[in-house]
Amino acid sequence: MTFRIGLLVGAALVMVTPAAADTNYSKAVQQNCSADYKTHCGEYGLESNALRDCMDRNGNKLTKACVKSLVDDGQVSQAEVDRRKKAANR
């Protein structure tokens, strides 16, 4: 199953609220992806489909720290990240 980085980032960004403290995402994802959420998709509610779509559309604009944290946390594969980078350079 191919994971969409935006979908995973959208799910990971749930951690920016105290109510989401019981999630399984690393503190690194919480710290490194919250600015990406605010910059690109802050107008969308957390855990919403609109947020997931927005983060997917902006996947190539995510900071390296956010993407690295998602890979390290197992939320997206390095292969998917590499595939997107290659597609963006065409």
To the question of pTM greater than 0.75 for the whole model, the response is no
Domain count of the fold of the chain: 1
Kindly report, residue by residue over 30-81, the tens digit of the pLDDT: 799 899 989 998 898 766 778 667 877 888 899 999 889 878 988 778 998 8
Cα separation, 57 vs 87, whole angstroms: 13
Q: Which domain holds residue 77?
A: 5-88
Alpha carbon distance 38, 28 (integer Å): 16
Contacts of 60-68 spanning 24+ positions with Cβ under 8 A: 60/84, 60/85, 60/88, 61/36, 62/5, 62/9, 62/33, 62/36, 63/32, 63/35, 63/36, 65/32, 66/9, 66/29, 66/32, 66/33, 66/35, 66/36, 67/5, 68/32
